A and B are shown apart, each in its own frame.
Chain A
Amino acid sequence: MSCYHLSRLLFDLKMNESCYQRALADFEELIGDYELTDIEKDALRSGDPRKLRQLGVHGMLCLYIKRLNPAFRNNIYWAQK
């Protein structure tokens, strides 16, 4: 099964600052804009990159869910691409 839209959301979190800010402000509203299954939404809500990977998301994109985790929000990794 393709996880194009799930991957797209994570790509947008990486590359689009306004998407990232929207995610911080209202995550549920943001994910409502993407064509996601309930399983995909739950994986996103978990904040666990390993669960996203199990759904077929590329590992390089899985990491970007961590941008929303307060413990990782200021990680130096986001200051480079």
Chain B
Amino acid sequence: MPLVSAMAASHAPNILLEPGAEWEDFMDLHYSMAPQGSGSRPTLEQQKKLRRDAEAAFTALRTDLEEAKPDVLIVVANDQFVNFFWNNIPTFFVTLADEVHGQFTRHNFHYRNHKELGWEIVRAGMERGIDFSFGEHIELQHTQNVPLYFLLPEPKIPILPIYVNTWVDPAPTPKRCYQVGELIREVAVKSPDRVAILATGGLSHFPGSPRIGEIDTRFDHKLLEVMRQGQGPSLADYSVDELLKAGDTEFLNWMVVVGTVGNAKATYTCYMPDFVATGWGFVSWRLC
């Protein structure tokens, strides 16, 4: 049946870290790479407000997700040297494990994995000329755990992690990510399950770079406006270099979800720069 819910949300670790000492640790470490970035260091009150605002945004997404009554949640995210290293970097990877685990500070995550849906996506891709990598073991990391903490705190339904290479050059084009999304939509339509999909990451940030602390809020607002207008297909015209320049390579994860919704208008958007490193973005498309 048609996709029942589509969402996108940032996965910045400090969304889930506690305001105060944990945020200070996080900032100390990152600013050691780029001392100039510390100029905008948020106060404790600002940190608390960001956490409250992010929780409110996640609550809006979670309400849409639960009302859609999904049987499975596909999670499109990027690795960051946890499962993949330079001995093998997959451009697109589908998880075919029975279960998936991960940890984020004191929070443990454990979900069933919907490998049957994963197989269908891999097989359909082979027919359509999109040759996914696949494997039977992955470890969940912050790119999945941060949004899952808020959106699927109880493992009531299985998930299906799909990875996009957004973090190592060369990354796939936005157009190719959009095509992967179109493929997933076709597989979902044929599935007996109610399929929901979530993209994570972004928006503008420069992890591990001397540009840490820069956030291209103008570019981020433009992306969100296009999604609100239902002009998502036009985003496939961006080049990877344009996304890279704006610190938005993780938007490639979002492009997969944009490919699943096509011209549907985003029904909820929220945006807040965290004054540390990242423009936090949240989007929902109510599809049923």
Contacts and interface: CB of A to CB of B under 8 A. Distances in A.
Contact of B29 (A11, A72, A81): A72
Contact of A79 (B81, B85, B105, B141): B105
A59 B207 CA distance: 7
A77 B208 contact: no
A80 B210 CA distance: 22
Interface string A52-64: 0100001111110
A63 B86 contact: no
A77 B25 contact: yes
A60 B207 contact: yes
A76 B168 contact: no
B85 A60 contact: no
B207 A77 contact: no
B29 A59 contact: no
B82 A75 contact: no
A77 B29 contact: yes
Nearest to A74: B25
Contacts of B105: 76, 79-80
B25 A75 contact: yes
B29 A75 contact: yes
A15 B208 contact: no
A75 B141 CA distance: 17
A60 B25 contact: no
A77 B33 contact: no
B22 interface: yes
Interface residues of chain A: helix, strand, loop or mixed (majority): helix
A25 B176 CA distance: 47
Contact of A77 (B26, B106, B139): B26
A14 interface: yes
A4 interface: yes
A45 interface: no
Interface string B174-187: 00000000000000
A44 to B, nearest CB: 16
Nearest to A15: B82
Nearest to A4: B86
Interface string A35-76: 000000000000001100100001111110010000010011
Contacts of B209: 59
A8 B33 contact: no
Contact of B33 (A11, A15, A63, A81): A63
A49 B81 contact: no
B29 A66 contact: yes
B82 A80 contact: no
Given A53-B210, A72-B32, A79-B106, 4 more contacts: A58-B167, A60-B167, A79-B103, A80-B105
16 contacts: A7-B86, A11-B81, A15-B82, A49-B32, A58-B81, A60-B167, A63-B33, A66-B32, A72-B29, A75-B26, A75-B29, A76-B21, A77-B13, A79-B105, A80-B103, A80-B142
Those 3 A-B pairs whose CB atoms lie nearest each other, nearest first: A59-B208, A76-B25, A60-B208
Interface of B: 13, 17, 21-22, 25-26, 28-30, 32-33, 80-82, 85-86, 102-106, 139, 141-142, 145, 167-168, 207-210
